Amino acid sequence: MQAEQDAIPHDDPVALFDEWLGEAMETEPNDPNAMALATATPAGRPSLRMVLLKEHGPDGFVFYTNAQSRKGEEIRANPRAALLFHWKSLGRQVRIEGPLEEVGGEMADAYFASRHPDSRLGSAASDQSRPLDSRATYLARVEALREAHPDGEVPRPPHWTGFRLFPERIEFWISREHRLHERRLFERSGAAWTSSLLYP
């Protein structure tokens, strides 16, 4: 049992996340960088959705969205969030919590420009989270933008941006037989991390 007890290293959670994400890239059939993003209003009303991790490192985990969407408005009103990665193929989960900050305009521009032209059109045409009378209306807006920008160079809308979550807590979970799961929690204090095992 000793090998099982020590399966989650206790030193560097960011390096461990890199390792686990790399393994998920090899085993997950779709979007290994998909993560559940939980936000809440200042009054504590939560909401949850799937987004894609686009960049990560010791300074945080970055995703992009429409800042006028429900999640964008909640982030700006209450800039804290939680992330959850679930890699079923590996029997692993990672939970991350911390404050959020908006990325700079140049960084958002660079990522928006790297997207497929149709993805840029779709984002620019969407009033994300707002009521829509019919899908035809949305598709007509996409086509109008396509005609206005036949070269595909759609400018980034000012409300389309990125957010970086600065990790304060990272929890790693491994599935075990008979639900004798393994959990290790890392908590940041300044630049240092401490870790402890949790009961499953």
Write out the catalytic residue numbers.
179
Q: Are strands 192-198 and 169-174 parallel, antiparallel or unpaired?
A: unpaired
Q: Which long-range contacts (CB under 8 A, 24 or more apart) does 171-179 make?
A: 171/94, 171/95, 171/96, 171/198, 172/8, 172/13, 172/16, 172/20, 172/92, 172/93, 172/94, 173/92, 173/93, 173/94, 173/95, 173/200, 174/7, 174/8, 174/91, 174/92, 175/91, 175/92, 176/4, 176/200
State the burial class of residue 25 (Cβ atoms within 10 Å of its Cβ: 0-12, 13-18, 19+): exposed
* The two structure tokens encoding residue 6: 């020590």
DSSP E strand stretches across 41-181 = 46-52, 55-57, 60-66, 80-87, 92-102, 160-165, 169-174
